[in-house]
């Protein structure tokens, strides 16, 4: 049996290497590829994706998994080998339902779609992106069909990012979350508004980059095993546990955008860099799920990066970089400004109180697209209508509306709910961490991020994808994903800021 186990590990290492090769190609596409290269890059992605899928669904892999099932039952269920066999069997079963031809076509179409989206956003012209998105939605419906019978057509897409979760589960959580967040927003609306005018002046991009890198390094993002570049939409990509790259985007008139996106992507990257070396070149050498991944990006960005303790330490440094803009702005005024609650057009610029409403809006639209009750041609109008319904504002253009996110161009329908779920998990994790580490605020103010990062590595990061996401959350926090800790966090934070 040891021989078959080693054969499986060898096969999985080769498969992981091929998958990482696709990641390199994808990273280059978003960072350096000239826009005119989309067709050629689409062919490359299509060919590589087909080869990876053939390896992931091969008879050899299936036979090895079948032969190792009895052996896996004799192992400690928490062992690396038992989890590897279980995870690979899950991935194999799902991948085997999908024809290689579909995988290849999807890779080609989404590569062209991403390039079209970039042009459409730049020119504020949805018509450039529309035919690509129509094809992407068509392919997503076809993909879902491979998993029939299902409870809902959206389930197979959601489960690509959040294994074990169904559409009804997310709708149930959001149904509890939305009215409570609206209560908080209404309470804030009745209070005097925070002044953030000093954030809406010009901030030198070089200074923004300098500050962002300093914070990322202080958090513990290892630049010897990573790098930061610029892309249209910030993202993180892992080419291995010792090569995890982040990007950001700078806006001179919106200093907080790059600042918090760098913290956000650093959270993703530190998760990947913290995976145990024993999992190198195995399927578990990634995050447990996107909700768990987003819990880390949102924890570092918001629960730490927007905390008063953080700014007690870093605000003097930011003032030194931008004296003309901030020399006469107090710490208290700055802290309130970066936590101001106000409906915004762009998700990545949204405050914590309204952010989840952006996600709920996208979930409704994605479900409608998959159910075919909403046509792509009607998407901009539907977007604007829901923005008015959810947030009371209407985007001035499609660039700040339906075209703002990169995800649909990559075919990532099913991803957005994980942002809101990640918010919930981040609060659960922080609650548990505070019960085990004394004075988290003191650690943050003293710059002792190594203690916080060490706790996260020990309890979450090192496990990679060994455990199913809900199982991991329960192991760490004592319960599955639930909204109460996050709502308590929001209520306490904003009652202190706004005095309600």
pTM above 0.85, yes or no: yes
Q: Are 429 and 267 in contact (CB under 8 A)?
A: no
What CATH number should be reported for the domain whose range is 167-498?
1.10.1370.30
pLDDT at 1 over 80: no
What local confidence, expressed as pLDDT, does residue 330 receive? 98
Alpha carbons 303 and 434: distance in angstroms, whole number: 12
What local confidence, expressed as pLDDT, does residue 44 receive? 96
Mean pLDDT, the chain, whole residue set: 96
Burial of 236 (0-12, 13-18, 19+ CB in 10 A): buried
Alpha carbons 294 and 420: distance in angstroms, whole number: 8
Q: Are 409 and 132 in contact (CB under 8 A)?
A: yes
Q: Are 268 and 236 in contact (CB under 8 A)?
A: yes
Alpha carbons 468 and 425: distance in angstroms, whole number: 14
The average pLDDT across 263-280 equals 97
3-state helix, strand, coil in the chain (%, to 5): 70, 0, 30
Helix (H) or strand (E) holding 113: helix 100-123
Angle (CA) 233-240-71 rounded to 5° is 125
Among the listed residues 282, 281, 291, the one whose alpha carbon sits nearest the alpha carbon of residue 471: 291
Q: Which residues are catalytic?
A: 265
Residue 163: asked if its preceding bond is cis (omega within 30°), the reply is no
The average pLDDT across 440-445 equals 98
Higher pLDDT among residues 273 and 348, named by residue: 273
The average pLDDT across 331-337 equals 98
Alpha carbons 243 and 221: distance in angstroms, whole number: 11
pLDDT band at 203 (very low <50, low <70, confident <90, very high): very high
pLDDT at 276 over 70: yes
Give percent above pLDDT 70 in the chain.
Answer: 100
| Sign of torsion over alpha carbons 159, 161, 165, 169 | negative
Question: Which distant-in-sequence residues (6+ apart) come within 8 Å of 99 by Cβ?
Answer: 146
* Domain parsing of the chain, residue ranges: 2-134, 167-498
Distances (CA, A) of 161 to 86, 143, 398, 414: 17, 14, 27, 7
Q: Give the model confidence (pLDDT) of 396-409 as tens digits.
A: 999 999 999 999 99
């Amino acid at each position: 049996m040891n021989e078959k186990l080693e054969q499986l590990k060898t096969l999985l290492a080769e498969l992981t290497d091929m998958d990482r090769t696709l990641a390199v190609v994808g990273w280059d596409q978003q960072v350096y590829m000239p826009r005119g290269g989309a067709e050629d890059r689409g062919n490359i992605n299509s060919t590589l994706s087909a080869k990876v899928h053939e390896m992931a669904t091969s008879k050899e892999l299936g036979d090895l998994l079948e032969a190792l099932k009895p052996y896996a039952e004799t192992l400690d269920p928490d062992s690396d080998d038992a989890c590897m066999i279980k995870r690979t069997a899950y991935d194999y079963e799902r991948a085997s339902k999908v024809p290689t031809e579909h995988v290849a076509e999807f890779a080609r179409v989404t590569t062209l779609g991403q390039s079209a989206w970039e042009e459409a956003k730049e020119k504020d012209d949805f018509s450039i992106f529309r035919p690509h998105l129509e094809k992407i939605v068509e392919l997503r419906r076809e993909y879902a069909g491979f998993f029939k019978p299902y409870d809902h057509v959206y389930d197979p897409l959601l489960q690509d990012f959040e294994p074990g979760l169904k559409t009804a589960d997310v709708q149930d959580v959001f149904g509890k979350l939305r009215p409570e967040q609206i209560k908080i927003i209404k309470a804030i609306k009745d209070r005097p508004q925070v002044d953030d005018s000093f954030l809406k002046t010009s901030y030198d991009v070089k200074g923004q980059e300098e500050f962002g890198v300093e914070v990322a390094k202080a958090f513990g993002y290892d630049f010897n095993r990573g790098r930061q570049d610029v892309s249209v939409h910030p993202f993180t990509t892992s080419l291995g546990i010792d090569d995890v790259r982040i990007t950001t985007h700078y806006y001179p008139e919106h200093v907080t955008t790059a600042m918090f996106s760098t913290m956000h992507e650093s959270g993703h990257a530190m998760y990947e860099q913290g995976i145990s070396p024993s999992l190198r070149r195995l399927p578990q050498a990634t995050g447990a799920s996107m909700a768990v991944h987003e819990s880390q990006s949102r924890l570092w960005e918001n629960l730490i990066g927007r905390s008063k303790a953080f700014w007690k330490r870093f605000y003097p440094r930011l003032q030194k970089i931008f004296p003309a803009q901030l020399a006469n702005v107090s710490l208290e005024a700055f802290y309130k400004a970066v936590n101001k609650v106000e409906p915004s057009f762009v998700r990545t610029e949204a405050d914590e109180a309204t952010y989840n409403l952006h996600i709920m809006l996208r979930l409704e639209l994605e479900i409608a697209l998959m159910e075919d009750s909403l046509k792509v041609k009607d998407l901009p109008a539907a977007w604007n209508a829901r923005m008015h319904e959810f947030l009371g504002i209407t985007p001035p253009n499609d660039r700040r509306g339906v075209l703002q996110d990169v995800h649909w161009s990559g075919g990532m329908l099913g991803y957005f709910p994980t942002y809101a779920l990640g918010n919930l998990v981040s609060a659960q994790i922080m609650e548990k961490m505070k019960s085990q580490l004394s004075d988290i605020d003191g650690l943050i103010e003293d710059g002792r991020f190594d203690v916080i990062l060490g706790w996260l590595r020990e309890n979450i990061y090192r496990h990679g994808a060994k455990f199913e996401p809900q199982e991991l959350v329960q192991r760490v926090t004592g319960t599955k994903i639930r909204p109460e800790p996050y709502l308590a966090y929001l209520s306490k934070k904003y009652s202190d800021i706004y005095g309600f």
